[in-house]
Amino acid sequence: MKSIIVVSGTPGVGKTTLAKLLAKRLNFNYIHIGELAKRIGAVIGYDKERKADIIDIKKVSKHLAGLKPDKEIIADTHVVEAIPPEKVKKVIVLRLDPRKLYERLSERGYPADKIAENVESEVLGTCYIDSVKHFGSDKVAQIDVTEKSIEELIEIASRIITENLRYNEDIDWAEKLGNNLAELLTKIARARFHR
Query: Rounded CA gap, 122 and 5, in Å?
Result: 21
If one asks whether residue 104 binds ligand ATP (CB under 6 A), the answer comes out as yes
In 3-state terms, what secondary structure has residue 65? helix
Residue 91 beta carbon to Mg ion: minimum distance, rounded to whole angstroms? 16
* Selected binder of ligand ATP within 63, 78, 134, 139 (CB under 6 A): 78
Q: Binding to ligand ATP by residue 126, rule CB under 6 A?
A: no
Q: Which residue is nearest to ligand ATP (CB)?
A: 14
Q: Which of 3, 4, 12, 130 binds ligand ATP (CB under 6 A)?
A: 12
Contact residues: Mg ion, CB under 5 A: 15-16
Beta strand pairing status for 52-55 and 43-47? Answer: antiparallel
Nearest approach in angstroms of CB 15 to Mg ion is 5
106 is an interface residue for ligand ATP by CB under 6 A: no
Chosen residue from 17, 106, 126, 158 binding ligand ATP by CB under 6 A = 17
From its phi and psi, is residue 34 left (phi > 0), alpha (psi between -120 and 50) or beta?
A: alpha
Q: Is the dihedral of CA 70, 29, 85, 83 positive or negative?
A: negative
Question: CB of residue 151 vs ligand ATP: minimum separation in angstroms?
Answer: 9
Q: 107 to each of 102, 128, 176, how far by Cα in Å?
A: 9, 25, 24
Considering only residues 150, 165, 174, 189, which one is a binding residue for ligand ATP as defined by CB under 6 A?
150
Q: Distance between CA atoms of 87 and 129, rounded to whole angstroms? A: 19
What is the closest distance, in whole angstroms, from the C-beta atom of residue 168 to ligand ATP in the complex? 19
Q: Rule CB under 6 A: is residue 98 a binding residue for ligand ATP?
A: no
Question: Judged by CB under 6 A, does residue 158 bind ligand ATP?
Answer: no
Cα distance between residue 182 and residue 100, in whole Å: 15
| DSSP structure class, residue 168 | B
Q: Binding to ligand ATP by residue 145, rule CB under 6 A?
A: yes
Interatomic CA distance for residues 19 and 34, integer angstroms: 14
Measured in whole angstroms, how far is the alpha carbon of residue 94 from the centre of its chain? 6
Interface ranges with ligand ATP (CB under 6 A): 9, 11-17, 78, 104, 145, 150, 153
